[in-house]
Amino acid sequence: MNRQTQSQPRLIVPDLARGLALAGIAMANAVQAWLLNGYDEAGGPGSTLGGVREGNVADQFAAVFSAMFVHVRGLPMFSTLLGFGIGLIAASLYRKGYPAKDARRVLLRRYGILALFGLAHMFLLFMGDIMAVYGVTGMVVALLFTCSTKTLRIIAYLSLIASALFGVIGAVGLYFFEAAALPVEMMTLTTDITSVGDYFRTNATDGLFMLASVPFAVLQLGGLVLIGYVWAREGYLVNVDQHRRILWTWVGVGTAIVLLIGLPWGLSGIGVLDPQLELSLSLLNSSLGTFTGPAILAGLALVTNNIQKGMNEQVAETGRSTAPAWAYPFVALGKRSMSGYLAQSFLFILLVMPFTLGWGLQASVSGKLLVGLAVWVITLALAVVLEGTGTPGPFEQVHRRLSYGPTKRLEPYSPAALPVAPELEQQSQ
């Protein structure tokens, strides 16, 4: 990151993107994890999308919409943002005079604690946790953070290409041989969980399966995290005009995936295209869909570029700036993304379990998406309240306390600024 960006206001793009991504994550999890019922049975209409009732227009629209814009959209964008955040922290460590070894220790501690948060979440509340994967991936990036940008790009693209190739091979195999069952068949249906004890026992059992998949998830998402790290290092979201060509290229890639994979997947789910394509396209979206993460983030950076410039001018003139009113709720939630993500688990348990309110237990895809959207709206409202009172997210505060100590922030390495090693100076430019 260029040192000239130190006087700029807080970037609007990361917070805005996190707040919006949580909507997609809530809706996707509602379909794929929280509301599993007979509509998810392999071979049924739209089973990979949550189930489509015959002749139901709302389900047909919801299936196509979610295939294009929900599944494997918010998660890869969040992964890219994770890497961007690591890059910002690394830049702060350089400015505060941390030698490489000590900077790495700080990063390992921060993301190691995040991994522990994720494991607790996985086994106690929600087996589909992603924070453990992010924590482990963050630790891997901490080991690589002094590598050259060229090296990091090579690792990132090799990871993404390998994941894409496996997805393509698997999708072709499924279409011609129908050799695999839907992942949902390995998990207990929500309607079978009738007590608190059932829930926690089932969640812990499914959590063991998900724990075994963490290394594969790190390999799949690690490339996105490294791309985000490189973007922070080179100022992609700070100097949008300078990187406009590459950002538009990513937007083009994301648009192609949405139209060439997401749309056919949705159309096969509602029977417009060959239903036999549905499972293969679902798998293809799970692998190639990861490329939409940087694409969506690039699109948001381009859309908000003029807004950010206006905020920069406000800081230069008045010493402070404010985001536009329409973005306020999303930014408020984005600042508290960890708390917002964890709150989703509490809310889903309260709202959808058979032993609580039981929302959407017999719902098809449209109802499931609405339940997920409702959960996100509640977290959005809570974030607005916290923002209005100037209260940080509770889980962010605990994480920062454990990562940085009593001050909850990165302190200078020493009273006098330390010289930055040549390789670190090169990375910070």
The conformation of residue 410, written as its DSSP 8-state character, comes to P
Find tokens 């083009």 and name the residue.
Answer: 252
What are the two backbone dihedrals, phi and then psi, of residue 149, each rounded to the nearest 5 degrees?
-60, -40
> CB burial class (10 A; 0-12, 13-18, 19+) of residue 158?
exposed
Distance CA 71, CA 68 (A): 7
**How sure is the predictor about 421, in pLDDT bands with cuts at 50, 70 and 90?**
very low
Is it the case that residue 202 has pLDDT exceeding 70? Answer: yes
Per-residue pLDDT, 320 = 79
Q: What is the pLDDT of residue 322?
A: 79
Share of the chain above pLDDT 90, in %: 78
Judge contact between 229 and 239, C-beta under 8 A.
no
The ranges assigned to domains in the chain are: 7-410
Instruction: Give the per-residue pLDDT at 41.
Output: 74
Q: What is the pLDDT of residue 426?
A: 42
Residue 105 · residue 139 · CB < 8 Å: no
258: DSSP letter: I
Q: Which residue has the higher pLDDT, 376 or 190?
A: 376
Write phi, then psi, for 119 (nearest 5 degrees): -65, -40
Contact 19, 333 (CB under 8 A): yes
Per-residue pLDDT tens over the stretch 240-287: 999 999 999 999 999 999 999 999 999 999 999 999 999 999 999 999
| The one-letter amino acid at 410 | L
Name the average pLDDT for the chain.
90
Give the three-state DSSP class for 387: helix
pLDDT score of 159: 94
Q: Are 331 and 300 a contacting pair, CB within 8 Å? A: no
pTM over 0.85: yes
Task: Quote the CA–CA distance of 299 and 13 in Å, as a whole number.
Answer: 10
Q: Binning pLDDT at 50, 70 and 90, where does residue 42 land?
A: low
Residue 301 has pLDDT above 50, yes or no: yes
Q: Decide: helix, strand or coil at residue 368.
A: helix
Instruction: Provide mean pLDDT across the span 84-99.
Output: 94
Residue 246 CB partners (closer than 8 Å, separation 6+) = 236, 298
Burial of 253 (C-beta count, 10 Å sphere; 0-12/13-18/19+): middle
Q: How confident is the model at residue 74 (pLDDT cuts 50, 70, 90)?
A: very high
| Model confidence at 409: pLDDT above 60 | yes
Q: How confident is the model at residue 240, as a pLDDT?
A: 95
Three-state SS for 145? coil
Predicted confidence (pLDDT) per residue in 103-139, tens digit: 999 999 999 999 999 999 999 999 999 999 999 999 9
Cα dist from 321 to 10, 16, 301, 312, 374, whole Å: 9, 16, 18, 7, 31
3-state secondary structure of 409: coil
Q: Which two tokens stand for residue 83?
A: 């890497």
What secondary structure letter does DSSP report for 289? G
Burial tier of 422 (Cβ tally within 10 Å: 0-12, 13-18, 19+): exposed
Residue 197 neighbours by CB under 8 Å, 6+ apart: none
Q: Between the CA atoms of 83, 116, 397 and 236, what dihedral angle is there, to the nearest 10 degrees?
A: 0
Q: Is the pLDDT of residue 219 over 70?
A: yes
> Binning pLDDT at 50, 70 and 90, where does residue 187 land?
low
pLDDT at residue 315 in the model: 81
- Give residue for tokens 């693209």: 157
Per-residue pLDDT averaged across 157-179, rounded?
86
115, 170 Cβ separation under 8 angstroms:
no
pLDDT for position 6: 43
User: What does the alpha-carbon distance between residue 52 and residue 223 come to, in Å, rounded to a whole number?
Assistant: 34
Longest CA–CA separation in the chain, Å: 71
Work out the pLDDT band at 179, boundaries 50, 70, 90.
very low
